[in-house]
Structure 1
Amino acid sequence: MAEAAEPVKPSSWSVLKLALKNRKTGYMALFGFASGLPFALFLGTLYAWLSEAEVDLETMGVFSLIGLAYAFQFLWSPLVDRLDIPGLRRLGKRKQWIAPMQLLLGIILVTLSLLDPKSQLGWFSLLAGIGAFASATQDIVINAWRIDIADDEATIDILSTVTQMGFRLAALVGGALGLIIAERIGWPQTYVIMGLIMLGIGIAGLFAPDADVDKAAATTMNEEKTAELYEVGEIEPRVRNWALLAVGLLWGWAIVTVLIFMVRSLTALPEDRPDPTLFTATYGPLIIAATIIVPAFIAAWLVKLNRDGKHVIKEGRVAKKADGLILDQLYRALLLPLVEFVGRMGWSLVLVFALVLTYRITDAIWGTFAYPFYLGELEYTLDEVAVASKFFGVGAILLGLALGGWMITAFGRMFTLTLGAFLAAATNLLYADLALGGARMQAVSDAIGFTWAVLQFPGGSERLARLMITIGGENLAIGIAGAAYIAWLSSIVAKGYSAVQYALLASLTLLVGTLGRGALGQMIEERGYYDVFIFTMLIGMVAVVLCILEWMREHRAGRKSGVVAADPPPQVARSQ
């Protein structure tokens, strides 16, 4: 009897074509844009408006608190993951949060256009703060939505790439294009336009697919999940509740600490306001330790008890009100995502955390010093930096994201992740050459005809060409690395706990870069930019090594589960 023919794997182009035709992919691009637009408007463009309104720098410093909403968004991710909005649950578990946040952001942007930032600064700052909170909440849910709705056709790799492309395009629209529009028609009109865009996205989002839309089914599943905590072999409620108490106290301390800091910053006199940078550097690691690291050890302890058969339920029973259903819900929201993660990953979680902490460090730590380098050290003009960074640079990132998305489908996620880490580290050498005068970058620009092309435009020069080719090279690498990293990060979290697990990992991504900026600034002062670029390149190579180790781990895990390769090309499923 003839053996069955082995199924033919589709080409990477076929996979891409099928994914791009899927409506989930279209909505993912829309949601990625919706995620990036408020981020650009609240953390970048808004400062230009305040500067034009002659708001003093000390007052503008208070607006840096807006960034805390993004930095510590994981603190309320369990609430967003488990809480239903009355009357909106029928939209779906994720859409009940996504659409209202987008509509709220649209209303806030339009309302801001009606206020004078100088004479009505109190209302202006309050609305901006609420907007940043809504934007960060939207990001939590959009990331979870992407993971939940991914399938064999609209793969997590493609959806992750499309998310980043939408986000970067929104950064261009809300940043550079926003400045251009404001120069011609004014800031209020600009924010009206941006607000109407967000309102349009919010209305369109009502029709997006979701992971589930049946409230009755969701309620039944919720009851079943709670009942599972009382099955034979599960941790005893008493032990579980003590663990929950410890984690709850840690999370409570973190939330109260952030709230106290924000209240002091908003109510104290300018000379008594705490320094946001110092707060992040001092309390940031403690908050991460209290909300992620220590709870991870507690989760590991619970996993060990379960595997050893200690303090587990011997006889199954039905959950009753006396057993504390509220505590069960809190346990599922706060601790169970980590218990699931630790139980599934085991000691591999150490490698995952190490990779998360180091993968984006080269661009995260350097970004703060980019403008001082361009404008101060190299003495480029604002117009030259805008052309090279905001327009050409964003285009290079979009190209890198597209290239990264194709490479994932063609060569696999881990290959692209590793290559992206290497390229992101290696491009620091481009800046090192620029710090020495840029002779090599100028030679490359001349050799490929790029210098000639730049000279054809008004204001073009050889020095602008070498800046553009350097920024373009780095951003191309960042695009490839970003596409692979978001896809990898999305692939290692569980769908049932996607909101909390992804938010926690994403917060760790920015930790080392945020904490290392002070030391890097001191190193620039003492050693100069060239040595710093060599140093950041070497740091980036650590991430390359960790990528290779993670690649080996996933390959071994795939072999143990009977899969030939840990990262095969995605299969094409029937249209849904």
Structure 2
Amino acid sequence: MAEAQARPKGFKLLKAALRTRKSASMLAFGFSSGLPFALLIGTLNAWLGEVKINLATIGVLSWIGLTYSFKFLWSPVVDRVELPGLAKIGRRKSWIVLCQAVMILAFAALALTNPVTNIGWFAIFAVIASFASATQDVAVDAWRIDVADEQTPVELLSAIYQFGYRTASIVGGAFALFLAARMSWSLVYLLMAGFILLALFVALTAPDTERPPKGLMNELLSQPGEIQPRTRLVALAIVLVAWAWAIITIGTFMVSMLGAQQEGTKAPSVADFTKELGPWIIVATVFVPLVVAATMNWLKARGKSVTTEADTSHSSGRTAANQMYGALISPLAELSGRLGWGVLIIIGFILTYALCYNIWSSFAFPFYLDYLHYTKDEVAFASKIFGIFMTMIGISLGGYLFAKIGRFPTVLIGAILPPTGNLVFADLAEGGPNIDAFAHLLRLDSLAVALGSDERMVRLLLAISYENISTGIALTAFVAYLSSIISRKFTAVQYALLSSLTFLVGSLGRGVAGEAFDTLGYATVFRYTAAFGFLSVLFVSLEWIRSNASERRSAREAAGSSTSAEMSNPTT
């Protein structure tokens, strides 16, 4: 018998995967996710600033950012609800297509609305677009994990997703600004809506996975040995109260930002909100459900508060409660049951892995322009054009490393590089003596002079090159690893919940970092954030050890089962 053909690695794997419909669809989905984010979070500010909109709009823009931070709150709907009329095109595709259609209409509405005379409607259309964009992200993340296989592994799909996302950042950022200098903002946003329409056509041809059978959750929860309905109801009530408090708190804050401000009163601040209430929202929406889910696993493992026979009740109330339990608690129960105490390592990994670039990214322009005194043209080229291409190189390297050296070595590299990048920026803040020495060693300073530039620009480009390449590798590693630990039974909820932690820690950290930059200076804060960022190396190492131990344990159990089977069926 011929031996099975070995799975290709490195560029051979990349080449093979890019021939598939899944990878082509992933590129389009990455573009469709990145474009609205770039248009709503960054480019929209340029439009509003150009037409002299007052500072009250900052509240609306802050609201737009919060939809991405708290998308996990409605992720159970995306995971469980079957869309009437659209469900036949696919489990995940139906949600992706719906969100893309809403974004097209919302961007068209923005294009047809004058923000100077109709800022209220303009804000509403922007929020609708951001809500649809964040919801699309939930569905796209779930799709990526669901369709991954040996030919197109999740690591490669994650790299392709990041590549499409960063391409969209150029289109929605630098290219949109380029167009806006030559045509009206309305035409620019209509053109961007056209790009999303192209992505919608690709989505219609993408493959998808089957939806679980209807009534499966009721059937599973009615089996003997499951948690009793009354206990499940108590657990569900605790989680619902915690989530309701979080949703009401966030909703109240959002409404207050849109409301008219009385003279002499301070406008609501997202930084203050995330600093004061953000940690409690994380506790309410993540840790409370996680503790409840772990408690349910503990009771079930010890045979306490469990049913002794099949539950034959099929009331509408019981069905609704089971569906809510399956949407809110079962995903975390599965995660904590499968990972055990390792779920705390995962949370530590998530909170620290993206810390460096999540916190300081909002302060990049003030650092370059006000502190280092680079011109706007220099910063635009270095950050928006040169920097994004460096990020794409990093993303490509991340995908290659995953295929070539494996998962954990790549994740570890992604943990080490960004904190080191903060040390590079600390050097830049102090005049760049080490960067200059490196540039001189490679004769890059002489090359810059020959090309009509100077060592100051070389200094900036080298710092941005290192940061963006390392960030590209780290982001690819982060998305791919997080995707690999998600259960396909609860894809949307688990991924949305865990990935949202990175947005929340970024928001919380930026509130603290802003004050620290003012009081301690850039170089000192860069070194502090690098030190905290290196904590991710510890969590990655702990997770590597835990994962290897789990794999060895599974191998021993499989070997034991095989031996038992051979002994019970001796060969004659």
TM band (smaller chain)? over 0.9
Amino acid at match of 2:356: T
Amino acid at match of 1:435: A
Alpha carbons of 1:447 and 1:326: their partners in 2 closer, same or farther (altered >3 Å)? same
**Matching residue of 1:504:** 497
* CA drift at 1:454: 4.1
| Equivalent position SS for 1:235 | coil
Unaligned runs of 5+ in 2: 558-572
Q: Supply the distance in 2 between the matched residues of 1:279 and 1:312 (Cα, whole angstroms).
A: 41
Asked whether the 8 Å contact 2:274–2:511 carries over to 1, the reply is no
Amino acid at match of 1:94: R
* CA drift at 1:385: 0.8
| Equivalent position SS for 1:313 | coil
| Equivalent residue for 1:344, pick from 329, 338, 354 | 338
**Matching residue of 2:458:** 465
Q: Supply the distance in 2 between the matched residues of 1:169 and 1:4 (Cα, whole angstroms).
A: 43
Alpha carbons of 1:539 and 1:98: their partners in 2 closer, same or farther (altered >3 Å)? same
* CA drift at 1:168: 1.1
Is the deviation greater in 224-233 or in 262-271? 262-271
Alpha carbons of 1:224 and 1:521: their partners in 2 closer, same or farther (altered >3 Å)? closer
* CA drift at 1:5: 6.4
| Equivalent residue for 1:258, pick from 246, 250, 257 | 250
**Matching residue of 2:370:** 376
**Matching residue of 2:355:** 361
| Equivalent position SS for 1:137 | helix
In the alignment, does 2:444 pair up with 1:446? Answer: no
Q: Supply the distance in 1 between the matched residues of 2:107 and 2:85 (Cα, whole angstroms).
A: 25
* CA drift at 1:267: 2.2
* CA drift at 1:322: 6.2
* CA drift at 1:317: 3.5
| Equivalent position SS for 1:234 | coil
Matches within 5 A, 1:476-487: 476-487=469-480
CA RMSD for the aligned pairs?
A: 1.9
Is the deviation greater in 313-322 or in 446-455? 446-455
**Matching residue of 2:136:** 138
Asked whether the 8 Å contact 1:296–1:339 carries over to 2, the reply is yes
Q: Which TM-score applies when normalising by structure 2?
A: 0.93
Asked whether the 8 Å contact 1:361–1:513 carries over to 2, the reply is yes
Q: Supply the distance in 1 between the matched residues of 2:450 and 2:62 (Cα, whole angstroms).
A: 40
**Matching residue of 1:538:** 531
* CA drift at 1:455: 4.3
Q: How many residues align?
A: 555
Asked whether the 8 Å contact 1:100–1:202 carries over to 2, the reply is no
In the alignment, does 2:423 pair up with 1:429? Answer: yes
Unaligned runs of 5+ in 1: 213-217, 565-576
**Matching residue of 2:381:** 387
- Per-residue CA deviations over 1:231-287 (Å, capped at 9, x if unaligned) read 111111111111111111111111111112112221232646422221122221111
Amino acid at match of 1:402: S
**Matching residue of 2:299:** 305
**Matching residue of 2:315:** 321
- Percent of aligned positions that are identical: 42
Asked whether the 8 Å contact 2:111–2:189 carries over to 1, the reply is yes
Matches within 5 A, 1:129-168: 129-168=127-166
Is the deviation greater in 497-506 or in 55-64? 55-64
Is the deviation greater in 425-434 or in 134-143? 425-434
Asked whether the 8 Å contact 1:110–1:196 carries over to 2, the reply is no
* CA drift at 1:457: 5.2
* CA drift at 1:108: 1.5
- Per-residue CA deviations over 1:25-70 (Å, capped at 9, x if unaligned) read 1110110010010001011101100111111123344322111111
Q: Supply the distance in 1 between the matched residues of 2:519 and 2:267 (Cα, whole angstroms).
A: 30
| Equivalent residue for 2:12, pick from 6, 11, 14 | 14
**Matching residue of 1:569:** none
Asked whether the 8 Å contact 2:272–2:511 carries over to 1, the reply is no
Matches within 5 A, 1:104-123: 104-123=102-121
Q: Which TM-score applies when normalising by structure 1?
A: 0.93
Is the deviation greater in 512-521 or in 96-105? 512-521
Asked whether the 8 Å contact 1:107–1:199 carries over to 2, the reply is no
Q: Supply the distance in 2 between the matched residues of 1:299 and 1:194 (Cα, whole angstroms).
A: 43
Asked whether the 8 Å contact 1:99–1:202 carries over to 2, the reply is yes
**Matching residue of 1:516:** 509
Q: Supply the distance in 1 between the matched residues of 2:271 and 2:252 (Cα, whole angstroms).
A: 16
